[in-house]
């Protein structure tokens, strides 16, 4: 049995398997100015790299969700202050109701 076709089949099988294994994967890139990490895709896309807890992979990223909670509490406080102000403007100051 000639060895050339057997070697050719083996080379083609290895080359085919190698191209399937060597799929282009995103590369991690870290910005020098901010220190944040990003994924760069072979097609030219970029997306922020996130930690397991969902926060950006940046050195100045705070605890998970704390910025979100801070902003939500601050927004609720502002909303309640605005509501109280509107109620006072509309109904007058009724902090001391009549007896």
- Tokens found for residue 74: 């601050």
**Angle at the Cα of 49 (from 44 to 53), degrees rounded to 5?**
155
Q: Are 37 and 28 in contact (CB under 8 A)?
A: yes
pLDDT along the chain (99 residues), means of 10: 65 60 75 89 86 80 64 80 84 64
Token pair 């870290």 in the structure block, residue? 30
pTM score: 0.41
- Tokens found for residue 53: 């807890």
Residue 92: per-residue pLDDT: 76
Residue 33: per-residue pLDDT: 86
Looking at the DSSP assignment, which residues form a beta bridge with residue 39? 28, 47
């Amino acid at each position: 049995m000639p060895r050339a076709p057997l070697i050719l089949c083996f080379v083609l099988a290895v080359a085919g398997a190698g191209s399937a294994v060597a799929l282009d994967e995103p590369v991690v890139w870290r910005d020098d100015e901010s220190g944040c990490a990003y994924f760069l895709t072979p097609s030219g896309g970029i997306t922020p790299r996130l930690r397991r807890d969902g926060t950006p992979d940046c050195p100045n990223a705070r605890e998970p969700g704390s910025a979100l909670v801070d902003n939500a509490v601050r927004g609720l406080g502002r909303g309640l202050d605005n509501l109280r102000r509107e109620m006072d403007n509309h109904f007058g100051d009724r902090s001391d109701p009549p007896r």
